[in-house]
Amino acid sequence: MGHDMNELTDTNTVEARIVPTDKCRNLRHFSLFRRRGPGQSTVEFALICLPFFAIIFAIVDYAQIYFYENSLQNALRESARFATAGRIIQAVNSSGVPEIETNSSGYPVPKAISDSSGREASRDECIKYWFDSNCIIQLPASNISIVSATYQTGVEPNTSTNSAGKLILLDSNSLAATAGPGGANDYIQVTAQYNVSTITPLFTFLGGYSRSGWDTYPIIVTAIVKNEPALLNFEHLAIYGATNANGEQ
């Protein structure tokens, strides 16, 4: 018996269901993450960039402090050698020939350069000029100090330590040393200070110096040497100490 083609036949009924999978769950969570992402990224960037840039700027500060301190130390070594030899910066004439004059004892001696006032520079000023000419930092004269103290032959200099941890030259009676380079066989102390402008607040553990404001870091270099001029007959009595040829400081 044939079947009518329009007649329905029995079939198995299949129920349509939605079965969640891990993949679908992950996609759904990822979409939620994407919706709140921009705000979260901004917060994360704000949290990360502050310490990141602070570290970068601190590295820049430490680098420039190290650079300037090396420059000051180099200039200090040169000026200490200059001071030890009892020298002055000799003037030259228009032809480049070193100028000579006669001191009060009748000895021919080198004539010193002129100071900022046009007077013959004292040995104190010559040492400061020598420091400045060997340093890339143009320090004002007030940032360079020179003191001296007289001791008996063979006696070591008396010193103390200041708040910055640097040695301070004292005389034989433990009093403050005298301004100027002094005379032959005296001890001389040359000290220079340069204030570095910093980007970040640095701590006092670097070098142990005291702070001068949150954005300033003072670099202090000092050396104590003995004044041992090699040629005593070249001793320029008028400018050997802290005064110039006119007897002025």
Q: Where are the domains of the chain?
A: 53-234
19-43 tens-digit pLDDT = 555 555 555 555 555 555 566 777 7
Alpha carbon distances (Å) from 101 to 7, 105, 110: 139, 11, 6
| Alpha-carbon torsion, ordered 35, 38, 44, 48, to 10 deg | 150
Q: What is the rounded end-to-end Cα distance, in angstroms, of the chain?
A: 140
Distance CA 41, CA 46 (A): 9
Give strand pairing partners of 220: 193
The model's pTM: 0.71
Tokens of 45: 């960037």
* SS3 of residue 115 by DSSP: coil
| Alpha-carbon torsion, ordered 206, 210, 212, 213, to 10 deg | 70
31-89 tens-digit pLDDT = 555 555 566 777 777 778 778 887 888 888 888 889 999 999 999 999 999 999 888 88
Give the number of other Cβ atoms within 10 Å of residue 186's Cβ. 22
Distance CA 57, CA 89 (A): 41
Tokens 């340093």 correspond to: 135
168-208 tens-digit pLDDT = 999 988 899 999 888 888 999 999 999 888 877 755 444 44
Average pLDDT in the 85-109 region?
85
Average pLDDT in the 228-242 region?
61
What does pLDDT average to over the chain?
Answer: 78
Distance CA 62, CA 219 (A): 12
* CA-atom Rg of the chain in angstroms: 38
